[in-house]
Every structure is written in structure tokens, then in C-alpha cells.
Amino acid sequence: MPGNSFGQLFRITTFGESHGEAIGVVVDGCPPGLALSEKDIQPDLGRRKPGQSKITTARKEQDTIHILSGVFNGKTTGTPIMLMAYNKDAKPADYEKLKDIYRPSHADYTYDLKYGIRDWRGSGRASARETLARVAAGAIAKKYLAQKCGVEFLSHVVQVGAIRADIDMQKVNAKAIDASMVRCPDKNTSEKMLRLIEQIRKEGDSVGGIIRGLIRNVPGGLGEPVFDKLPADLGKAMLSINAVKGFDFGSGFGGSIMRGSDHNDEFLPQTPKGALIKKISTKTNNSGGTLGGISTGQDIYFRVAFKPVASIALEQDTVTRSGKATKLNVQGRHDPCVLPRAVPIVDAMAALVIMDHYLRHKAQNS
């Protein structure tokens, strides 16, 4: 089946191309009765939109969202919700010279290989512009989960290039994240990251880095072993984002060099209020908020590694569609670093996963 849909009970299907008429999403499975308007969605799109700062692409899009179905008298009806934003600043002419050339490390060649045709206007569906639809859908999931369980999604940048921040997860908050143009809540490190991105932009190059996903107040018991474990679905969600090259969960690869006596999260005693402890407490949280693929009620955290943007202004060797050698320096409007705009995308994909598993858990255990 085509890979344009995500989720089971809370299911989204995205549509649209980078320089087409519009980008949109159909959200199916949202419970009825949730108060919802465009004002609930627009702030998240504002965090993702192009042209928001001097270190993002110069493309100017307001990304104004329209709710076209699934809401009546200000509340969700339980039927499919259609969300759409029209492209206002598309400039396909910027890409015309690329229609017969493959950009190094881009999806140009593989889309051609798979379909025998490709949309060369900003790479069509392969463009990160498609993620607008994910963020719009994720905003609905975030509102529902916040009201039902107080769940918070606090993804933030922890590394750009070789510059790394040492951030106490217990102190991370939304205000500190958005106070930084880079969306790194450590002010001093954020300024260093900003200088690096500006330098690389002036050089016509790009740089990658790492975003840490952080989810608070997740109910215990979410996850469907064995194949739909919560970390497994989070991993798939993150690896579906453009430019993502790596995902690790909890202690991640660092846990591979630890001993069990150091890595194990020892349980702390509690006064039970019933036959089963509803929320555990441990000395550490190397497990990242899940055990056996099921949430414990503790903070969930993971890391997502992004490669440098493939479209750069420096001259590179490549080939045409027929295999002829040629030179290329990509023109147009591109991010020198995707991380600041990718933070709300990581939040959105995490919210879609948690929402889907919350509904699945409720259906099984109501």
C-alpha cells in the first residue's frame, strides 16, 4: 500500500507537493466533542513555517490553515477532519534547471527510479514542506492529550554540528525552548550554535545536528507488544521525517557500554493505594519511560539525528537523468540547518504516536 498514511485508530493521510497548489491532511479517528478551531493549530505551524528567522529559508509562507470538514459548531464530530494550507510563495522556476539533473544526497534519483516520473519543483512530495500537514494533525493530538492527561511535548535542539549542549531535562520548558532562535534552551550554547549556522549559511553550505524529544505526563500502559511497542512506533515516526539519519531511545547507544548494575533503573518504595502501583518511581530513567515497549508513566525521551540539508550553493559533481557528468550548485531558497524548524515536527510525530496508542489502550482496557 502507498505510504501516505500513518497511525491506526488515530490515522492521518497527507497530500500535496512543495510547489503545488496546497498542502493538506485528512485526520481520521479524532474523538467527537473536542473544541477545535484554526487558532488551535496555527501556533504550531508558525514554529515550523519558512522565513521565520535569518537562519531559515527565505521562502515566505504564512501557512494559514483551513479546517474544511469534521468540525461543527466549534467541536469535532468524530468524522474525518480535513486541513489544508495553500502555497502562496511557490517559485517552481527556481528549480527548472534541475528537472534533468540529480542533486547529490537528494531524493531526485530514487523518486525517478521508483515512479519513472518526478516533480522537480522543489522535489514535490520529497520536500520537507509536506511536514506542514503532519504538524497540523499533530496539533489536534497535542490538544486532546493535554486536556485528557496533561501530556507535554518539549522537543529541543541539543547539538548543531560539533557544538553540543548539556541540558538538564528536568528544567526544560516551552518558554526556554522558544526563546532561542535555534530552539536550544541553553542560552550560551544556543548563541554558539547560531553563530555556526550563520557562518555556514554565508559559505553556501549546510549543517546537521540532534534534537532530543521529551514527553512528560504520558499515561502508563501505552504500547502494543510485540511489534507495536511504543519506542518502535516512535522510531518509525521519527525516521519518516525528512533528513533524519538516526534515532535512539532512553540511554540509547550509550547504554551499550554500561553494565547492567549501572544501567538498571532501581525501583523506589511507594505506599500502594490499591493492588497495583499506578505510577512507578525509580532512581534513574535509563529506560526512557518504557519497559517492554510499554510506557511506565515516567518521562519519555529520545534523540533524533538530522543530516545536513542536501541542497547547497557550493559546486558539486553529479549526473543528468541520462547519466552524463555535469556540475551543479543549487540555487533557490533552502535552510542552512533544518533543526530549528524540525523541532515542532518531532513534537507532532511524537503526539501522533502517543495519541494513537492512547486510543488503542482505551479501546482495549475501557
Question: What CATH number has the domain bearing residue 133?
Answer: 3.60.150.10
The answer to whether 54 and 43 have CB atoms below 8 angstroms apart is no
d(CA 225, CA 213): 22
Three-state SS for 357?
helix
Residue 188 lies in a domain: yes
Residue 303 lies in a domain: yes
How many other β-carbons are positioned within 10 Å of the β-carbon of residue 46? Answer: 13
Residue 17 lies in a domain: yes
Residue 50 lies in a domain: yes
Task: Give the total number of structural domains in the chain.
Answer: 1
Residue 258 lies in a domain: no
Alpha carbon separation from 154 to 45, 127, 171, 301, 342 (Å, rounded): 16, 25, 11, 10, 12
Along the chain (366 residues), what's the average pLDDT of each consecutive run of 10 residues? 92 94 97 98 93 72 92 98 89 79 94 93 89 98 98 98 97 97 98 96 96 97 97 98 98 98 94 74 97 97 97 93 93 85 98 98 90
pLDDT at 93: 72
Residue 276 lies in a domain: no
Residue 142 lies in a domain: yes
Residue 161 lies in a domain: yes
pLDDT at 88: 84
Domain limits for position 135: 5-250+287-365
